[in-house]
Amino acid sequence: MTTPLPLVFDAPRRGMPPRHLADLDSQERKAVVEELGLPKFRADQIARQYYGRLVADPEQMTDLPEAMRAKVAEALFPTLLTEIRHIECDDGTTRKSLWRANDGTLLESVLMRYPDRNTLCISSQAGCGMACPFCATGQGGLNRNLSTAEIVDQVRAAAAALRDGEVAGGPGRLSNIVFMGMGEPLANYKRVVNAVRRITSPSPEGFGISQRSVTVSTVGLAPAIRKLADEDMSVRLAVSLHTPDDELRDTLVPVNNRWPVAEVLDAARYYADKSGRRVSIEYALIRDINDHGWRADMLGKKLHKALGPLVHVNLIPLNPTPGSKWDASPKPVQDEFVRRVQAQGVTCTVRDTRGQEIAAACGQLAAEG
Ligand code: SAH
């Protein structure tokens, strides 16, 4: 069953970049290669270069005849993202990159190395239209949707940098992707789903990162959560809830006025049932705003009722954003909050947040050139 989505989910292609290989599925890419007058087998060969060897410049595709490379470059490899700069912290194991798209649009991605995994936090939109008052991206408004290839190329660039030993800690492999950078992924639905397919399919269709290692995070667009469940991909779903009551959530996550808490949790349950996976509930803990003991009780109760064991709460101590007077809750309040959620039979942990000092942490991405 697929639910028709309101128009807001698929804005027209206005201002989108030129077509790139990563926008295309295997049939489309074969069609383009044939239009160029090349034999069909070249399509997979080129895709293997991009997804398998992480090469985005046909001049470096040495298995293509030289005469062919310029033609392929023009038709399939416009330069989509140019790195303007990157900044690092945590001894170089957290690295934020600022990218310029070819129309001048700015966006950011953040790479984080951990002992057991390498995670890239990617953007799905330049800016964000959801207007959550505690998030720097939301304060800047939506610039535009990113194309599938602009999303996918963030992944290629990071995977190549890791492989080539450009990131502290020695050569490594990109293992996890989180759609927790700029933007609301489910408001750019089709392009995000296509990007997930490219990220998770094996070469030559994609990078072959396990679906289980990909997380899509949403403010809670309930119909889109259901639609995603029906795609039958086993990616992890994260829902940014931030409070269990509609009264406060209407102000913290304005889209709650359209899809209130009960509807979001119903959709999350549907997702958990279809995917067989636990849903993560994201909760930025804000001093004196949403950190009360009674809210922890209510959160635990509502989640237990809606999702049973198929839920996990991630508390994120609020990261400061420019112009906001809000800050994180004191440690004892945070500890008590965790205890009370757990007392309702719901697992709850505090996220180790990275990148605050380089404005790379959750809610701090503003892509200021
Ligand atoms: N729009 C999606 C994807 C962004 S993910 C979503 O909201 O889920 C970014 C995560 O960081 C979300 O859970 C968001 O609520 C959270 N966040 C935003 N601002 C924050 C801040 N100032 N401190 C901590 N977390 C924040």
Ligand 1 proximity of 291 Cβ (cutoff 6 Å): no
Q: What is the dihedral of CA 343, 347, 352, 356, to 10 degrees?
A: -80
Amino acid at 339: R
Report CA(337)–ligand 1 centroid distance (Å).
Answer: 19
- Burial status of residue 275 (CB atoms within 10 A of its CB: 0-12, 13-18, 19 or more): buried
Q: Is 83 a catalytic residue?
A: no
Report CA(136)–ligand 1 centroid distance (Å).
Answer: 9
pTM attached to this predicted model = 0.95
As a three-state string, the secondary structure of 348-366 is EEECCCCCHHHCCCCCCCC
- Are the C-beta atoms of residues 290 and 304 closer than 8 Å to each other? no
Quick one: DSSP state of residue 328?
B
Tell me the per-residue pLDDT of 1-50, one tens digit each, with 9 for 90 and over.
Answer: 444 444 444 444 457 999 999 999 999 999 999 999 999 999 999 999 99
Tell me the per-residue pLDDT of 131-186, one tens digit each, with 9 for 90 and over.
Answer: 999 999 999 999 999 999 999 999 999 999 999 999 999 999 999 999 999 999 99
Question: Which domains are seen in the chain, by residue range?
Answer: 21-76 (1.10.150.530), 81-358 (3.20.20.70)
Ligand 1 proximity of 284 Cβ (cutoff 6 Å): yes
283: which strand partners? 315
Report CA(142)–ligand 1 centroid distance (Å).
Answer: 15
Q: Is 362 a catalytic residue?
A: yes
Both tokens of residue 132?
A: 């959550």
d(CA 10, CA 81): 22
* Atom number, ligand 1, closest to the C-alpha of residue 218: 8
Q: Is 248 annotated as a binding residue?
A: no
- Are the C-beta atoms of residues 126 and 144 closer than 8 Å to each other? yes
Ligand 1 proximity of 318 Cβ (cutoff 6 Å): yes
Tell me the per-residue pLDDT of 308-322, one tens digit each, with 9 for 90 and over.
Answer: 999 999 999 999 999
d(CA 283, CA 335): 14
